[in-house]
Structure 1
Amino acid sequence: MSRILSVNLAVPEPNTAKAVGVTGINKRPVDGPVPVRAPGPKTTGLGSGLVGDQIFDMAHHGGDDQAAYAYAREDYDWWEAELGRDLPGGIFGENLTTTGVDVNGALIGERWRIGAELLLQVTFARIPCATFQLKMAEPQWIKRFTREARPGAYLRVVEPGEVRAGDQVTVVHRPDHGVSVAEGFRAWTLEPELLPRLLEVPEAPEGVREKVRQRLAG
């Protein structure tokens, strides 16, 4: 069954990778239901869509198009085998650790019903940054993560609700364009020849689409 394995909220820690000096990438599982709502604009809103979560680099993280981040336990298991180390849910900074969900194969604009109330929509792939590199302490981590194209998915809130470990995840809508999270990630990073495909995706964040237009024009 496709379900939420854990719901993870930030435990702040120092961050020497960026000037803000603190990061919420370290997320740990919590008990009980967590309310989820649209956080508003990236720089002036509430940051995360999950009540109780914290985002500090609000210029680059959070906001309506990055209200939540999901990563699949199956991809963690793959990385554990590759790296030879344990990777608990939340270490990649995701709010929702899933099982039985094809997160990277999800289509941009796909909608997930989680539990009885919450409805989320896939927006785009997670792009690795210097904070992620510092957190993982693995040589050439950004390049390695990028090459494997297992980025996990950002989500926006369509209908607010609560989320808890064990909630079922049901795909209730898949758009017709066929562009997956993984394909969008590859287009953005190592395969720019795929960038025009992102302009065929109306559900992609406008900021992503505008940057694609700029890159294609340049």
Structure 2
Amino acid sequence: MHIVSINIGMPQTVTIDEKPLTTGIYKQPVNGPITVTKTHCIGDGQADLIHHGGPDKAICAYASEHFSFWEQVYHRSFTPGAFGENLTLFGLTENQVCIGDVYEVGTAVIQVSQPRQPCFKLAKRHGLKDLPLKVQETGYTGFYFRVLQEGSIQKGDPLTLIDRSPLALSIHDVNTIYYIDKRNVAAMKTIVAEPALSEDWRQSFIKRMER
């Protein structure tokens, strides 16, 4: 388990379909160490601060193992940063990672907080209208970390798992309940009982159960 690439970028306004779009999804690989804080990676930014960034979504991560799948589907290359992720990782897929997992990486300590929700800007960036839906259907969403201990990280750093919640809810399992098995109340009760789950996702499941 290690960092393949660290990708950062500030929001920019681009013209897509003859309309301006301000987005922070364009991330580029960087060399050398960067500092991760409680809310973001230094040098990185988001345009939509309601749905991106903040303590529960300080770092967005994506598994490099998925790139070959998307290349076969769309017949084009996908490289680090293609999904707007800050960390392109190897050895940490949605089946392997659980909500609440705590990792040491570099001098930082980070914790998995929620799956990543693909938005329309992913489709706009690549000119692929069905990409967000396919991301949901495959479960190849990526996920977010919160930062428990600020520190410095760099390409090649290993991630060492130092703690796992007794519930051991994988990102894949949580995605399945969120996007597919939407009426599984028993599973939702278990998910909301996980203290490390982000508050946004907890409230989404609570509201769904109430309905």
For normalisation by structure 1, the TM-score amounts to 0.88
Q: Which residue matches 2:132?
A: 142
Structure 1 runs, 4 residues or longer, greater than 2 Å off: 11-17, 100-105, 194-197
Who is 1:28 aligned against?
Answer: 28
* Among 36, 42, 53, the residue aligned to 1:51: 42
Q: What's the offset of the Cα at 1:103?
A: 4.4
CA contact (8 A) 1:112 1:170 kept: yes
Q: Give the distance between the partners of 2:122 and 2:171, measured in 1 at CA.
A: 19
| Of 129-138 and 119-128, the range deviating more from structure 2 | 129-138
Q: Distance in 2 between matches of 1:140 and 1:83?
A: 11
Q: Which residue of 1 aligns with 2:155?
A: 165
Letter in 2 for 1:90: G
1:1-218 correspondence to structure 2 within 5 Å: 2-10=1-9, 12-14=11-13, 21-39=21-39, 49-115=40-106, 117-192=107-182, 193=184, 194-218=187-211
Query: Do 2:10 and 2:43's aligned partners in 1 also have CA atoms closer than 8 Å?
Result: no
Aligned residues with identical type, % of pairs: 30
How many Å apart are 1:99 and its aligned residue?
1.3
Instruction: Determine the C-alpha separation between the residues in 1 that align with 2:95 and 2:41.
Output: 21
Rounded to whole Å, the distance in 2 between the matches of 1:127 and 1:177 is: 22
* 1:44 counterpart residue number: none
| Cα distance in structure 2, aligned partners of 1:138 and 1:107 | 29
Change in Cα spacing, 1:128 to 1:15, as seen in structure 2 (3 Å) is farther
Amino acid at match of 1:82: V
Distance 1:104 1:16, change over 3 A: farther
Distance 1:70 1:110, change over 3 A: same
Distance 2:164 2:15 in 1: 40
2:94, 2:170 within 8 Å by CA — same for their partners in 1? no
Mapped contact 1:22–1:56 kept (Cα < 8 A): yes
| Count of aligned positions | 206
What SS does the aligned partner of 2:109 have? strand
Cα distance in 1, alignment partners of residues 137 and 148 from structure 2 = 31
- RMSD of the TM alignment (CA)? 1.9
Once residues 202 and 20 of structure 1 are traced to their aligned partners in structure 2, the CA distance between those partners, rounded to angstroms, is 39
SS in 2 for 1:71: strand
Distance across 2 between alignment mates of 1:54 and 1:61: 9
Q: Distance in 2 between matches of 1:143 and 1:102?
A: 19
Output the CA distance in 1 between the equivalents of 2:20 and 2:178.
26
Q: TM-score, normalising length from structure 2?
A: 0.91
